[in-house]
Structure formats: C-alpha cells, structure tokens
Structure 1
Amino acid sequence: MERNVIGKPEDLVSVIMPAYNSEKFIKGAIISVLEQTYSNIELVVIDDGSKDNTVEIIQQLSKQDPRIHFIKNEVNLGVSETRNKGIALASGDWIAFLDSDDIWEKSKIEKQMKYANETSAEFLFTGSSYINENGIPYSGIFEIPKQVSYKELLRQNVITCSSVLLKKRFFDKIKMEKDEMHEDYAVWLRVLKTGVFAHGINEPLLIYRISRNSKSGNKLKTIKMTYKVFRFIGVNPISSLYFMSSHIMRSVSKYRKIKLMN
C-alpha cells in the first residue's frame, strides 16, 4: 500500500511501545505501526525485563525496518517509567502510544495528522473496537465526542491510551507517574487542565484487546485506581467520590454495548 506523509516533513511521529512478557501479541502490534499509511514514523520499543520470547521477536522485526528503535531496560521499571524513558528518547515533535497487545488500523496516524494540520489540534484521540485475548472481535465499538475538556474528562475517561497522539512539548513538565493508578488518565487530565482540548476522531482506529490480566480487566481495582487519579491531581475527597460514581455509571453503559461476536 502506498504510504503518505501528511503535513510538514518535520512532522515525525514517535510511537512509544513498552513491552513486558508480550510474546503472544507484540508482533501484531509492531506490524500495525509499520503498515501505517503515514510513513514518517519511528517506533521506540522498550522491553521492561520480559522473561519470555518478547526480546527475540522485537530484535527480529527491528532488523527488517530501520524505523524500529529497540531498548532493553536493565531492570523492570514499570510502565510509567518505561513510557517516560521512551518519550525522552523520542526524536519526533509528536508522541503516540501503543500498548504491546493493541493494534492500529492502517490509517490511524494519517487521519490524526491530517486533522491536526487542518485544525492546529495538539492533542488527539480516536474511537475503539475490541477483541479478546484470542483475537475474537466484540460487536460493539466505543464512540467518542468530537472534543473533550478537563471538566468533561473528570466525569468519564473517554481517552484510550493507545489511541492518543499529542505534541511532545506537553511532556516538558508532565510525566507519567504511579503505576498503582491509571497513570495515563492522570496525564490527560493534567494536560487538559492547562486549557487545551482533546480532539476526537470518532472512528474505531484502535483495536483494543480486553485482557483479564489488564488493569481494566479487574473492575473493583480500576475503580480504586480511578479514585487515586482524582486525589493525585488535587481533587478533594468528596468531589473524587462524585466523579468516581460518574465513571462507574458510564462504564456500565459502555460495556453493555460490547458483546463477543458469534
């Protein structure tokens, strides 16, 4: 497929992919980046101490495409520090995130960069479709608003990490912290608190894998982690409980729409 560069030549997109024991899924994730119709991409893959064949798979793929930059942590740092390390090593003005078990549709970055260049948006995200651990698709998709503010994001996190594209400059003062909470959600809120908006492309350009072992797979755990995000960014306890209740109600509605296809 022909690949295009939308916008200025300097619009390099640095894709940050942390990996830990990801041998089952990481090849599909990496290939979905390399097959993007937007070609001005570098992929920074950081292994965080895997004990399976993840490293061997990454090394094999990196020999086939010079856009892959492979780094191996000497010790396990956790997902926040690993992403921060990738951001620090990134050469692009734009940062995108892709977890090692998720997949992008081929036009994902092209559509986001086209939108960014047409509107001067600096923070973008997309809708999602879903698959299970075995790659079987769910029938529902996650639809998103065209724009979201800080106050709106407090009521529901509509921004999936693997769908995000944003300017690297936001990370000059904001880092990912505390793996015991939803570290990415805390970053989105802190970015939006500066007064910018996040712009949504309401298409399922991300294929999100629902895993029983993921943070979102344990509903009680994810509720507690959401509360910790509110307290971390300075929301008082009463308001934190209010926003957490809003999250619970909207999450129930969201997951009711998602069913495995027969």
Structure 2
Amino acid sequence: MHYEEKKKHTNNSETPLVSIITPLYNASKFILQNIESVQAQSYSNWEQIIVDDASSDDSASLVQEIAKVEPRITFIQLDENAGAAYCRNLATERARGNYIAFLDSDDYWHREKLERQLKLMQNENASVSFTSYLHIDEDGNPLKKRILAIPKLSYKKQLLNNYVGNLTGIYNAGEIGKIVAPNIRKRQDWAVWLEAIKRSGKPAVGLQEDLAYYRLRKGSISSNKINLVKYNYLFYRSLGFNLIKSGGYLLRFFWEYFFVRPKYIQKL
C-alpha cells in the first residue's frame, strides 16, 4: 500500500474541516469531474481522501497528477482489490475532519453542496444530514429523475429502506464518532447512515435541494434489482438479526420500497 500524507488543514468551530471519502475503482472516465466538483465547492475547508482499489485502468495515475498540486487531496493506493467497504473504512480512519461526507468516484456535486448542507446542520443542530439528488446516465445526460430528501428521517424509517443517498450524506464525527461500515459487498452505506442516526439520538435532516448527481452505470450492482434482494437480506443479517427477524424486515422492506418510497421519487 502506498500512502501520501498532506499538510494539515484548519479545523475550528467556525470553518470545520470536512473529510470527503472517495473509493476509486476503474473510474478514469469520471474521476476528473468528481474531483473538479469538489475543488469548485464554495466551502473550501475540505480534504478529499481517495482510495484506489487496485484499478486496472489509469485512474490512479490521473489522481496522482492532481494530488501533486492539490494539497487537500490525500491519495491511497491498494496493491490488491479489497472492496468498497474496506476503502471507505480506510479513508474514514485517515480522516481528520469534524464532518465526514461521501462521494463515490463516478458521482459529483453541486458547487454549493457543502456550504448549504453545513449551514442546515448548524441551524438545525443536526448530527446527520442529506439532500435531494438527480440521476444521470453513464455519459452524464440527465435521466429526468429526482430522489427527494425526507425533511426528518427517523431511525425506524431508515431501518425499513435506505433513504440517504450516500453521495449526499454528511455526519458530524466530532459529535457521534467515526462509523465503520460492515464488510458486505453492497448496502454498507445503508448500515452507516442507520448507525449515524442511532448514535445521534435524533432524526437526520434532509435538504430538499438537488445538490448531487448520481451516475447510473450499466451492469452496476445497484442496477440489478434481483441481486438487491440478496444484499438487503444480508444487510439485516449484518445488524445481528436472526433468520426469522431478517426475513420479516425484508418483507417490510418490500412494502416500503414499492408502496411508500415512490412518493419520494419525481419524474422531471
């Protein structure tokens, strides 16, 4: 493993440091737009920790070139593929910010995303927040689909369905501590936001503004609904639920997914 340490950033109560976690795997087509959207943020006190999961394309070399001239980027390169959960956890371990945010390598942000969201968290005294976001295709074209953020998201409701788009979420690690994702191939982000809400002891606040862009790639795990049944079941098992309880929550998930969740999805 190669690890490049960058200079320290300011982390005070007025302009707290935000650590942005970015796992990277064979995303050379998208990673530059990802980084540019972070660099363009109106809120400038951030660090982006990018963990390359042994990519076979030129993703790593692209990031290395930018990291040479961008001190706010920390680049970690793995010698062997370890999975997204491992990459996120490693980056979280290295994070120095009071706030932790996530942005996968093929997604990107609106330029005022951090500024607006941090202001909301401070005004609402919230430990966890997320926003609405838009879907785009592999080439960046809009898919005319918006996922609306729920204004107040409780632990109970989050347990039934993952309502936090991972690319939109921020939690205050200074208040609730750092959260380790379970080492499961999919849905580990669901577990992170569920735990964050649990630790905070109050609902997550949702900002109903389109501040992030989620890229739907062909053949991705998230685009295969059949596989998601399996991953959802494994998610409940990762919470320590037994076979029967996991099956029961899976049935409740189906109800939430098909009959409740659609009201938070808008066609544009």
User: Taking every aligned residue pair, what percent have the same amino acid on both sides?
Assistant: 34
Residue of structure 2 in register with 1:99 after alignment: 104
The amino acid of 1:99's aligned partner reads D
| Residues 85-129 of structure 1 deviation map (CA, whole Å, 9 limit, x = unaligned) | 101111111101000000100000000111122222111111111
- Which among 193, 215, 218 is matched to residue 188 of structure 1? 193
Instruction: Give the C-alpha shift of residue 64 in structure 1.
Output: 3.0
| CA RMSD across the alignment | 2.3
Letter in 1 for 2:218: R
**What SS does the corresponding residue of 2:88 show, helix, strand or coil?**
helix
1:227 aligns with 2:233: yes
Which TM-score applies when normalising by structure 1? 0.89
Cα distance, 1:114–1:255 mapped onto 2, change above 3 Å: closer
Query: Residues of 1 paired with 2:17 and 2:260: CA distance?
Result: 35
Deviates more, 1:120-129 or 1:225-234: 225-234
Alpha-carbon contact 2:171-2:196 (below 8 Å) kept: no
Q: Which residue of 1 aligns with 2:161?
A: 156
Superposition pairs of residues 133-172 of structure 1, within 5 angstroms: 133-169=138-174, 170-172=176-178
Instruction: Identify unmatched segments of 5+ residues in structure 1.
Output: none
Q: Distance in 1 between matches of 2:145 and 2:82?
A: 35
CA distance in 1, matches of 2:256, 2:218: 20
- Unaligned residue ranges in structure 2 (runs of 5+): 1-9
Q: Which residue of 1 aligns with 2:258?
A: 249
Partner secondary structure for residue 48 of structure 2? strand
Equivalent position amino acid for 1:16 in 2: I
C-alpha separation between the residues in 2 aligned to 1:250 and 1:28? 35
Shifted more, 200-209 versus 151-160: the winner is 151-160
CA displacement, residues 44-99 of structure 1 (integer Å, 9 cap, x when unaligned):
11111001010111012112321111111122221111111101111111101000
Q: Whole-Å Cα distance in 1 between the matches of residues 30 and 264 of structure 2? A: 23
TM-score of the superposed pair, with normalisation by structure 2: 0.87
Where in structure 1 do 4 or more consecutive aligned residues deviate above 4 Å?
A: 254-259
> How far is 1:216 from its partner?
1.2
Deviations 1:1-20 (A, max 9, x none): xxxx9x83451001010101
* 1:119 and 2:128 aligned: no
Tell me, in whole angstroms, the C-alpha distance in 1 between the residues paired with 2:102 and 2:161: 20
Which digits, 9 at most, give the CA deviation of each residue in 1:199-223, with x for residues without a partner?
A: 1101110100011232211111112
AA partner of residue 181 (structure 1): K
Amino acid at match of 1:135: G
Match of 2:69 in 1: 64
- For the pair 1:81 / 2:82, whether they are aligned, the reply is no
Contact 1:125 1:199 in 2 (8 A): yes
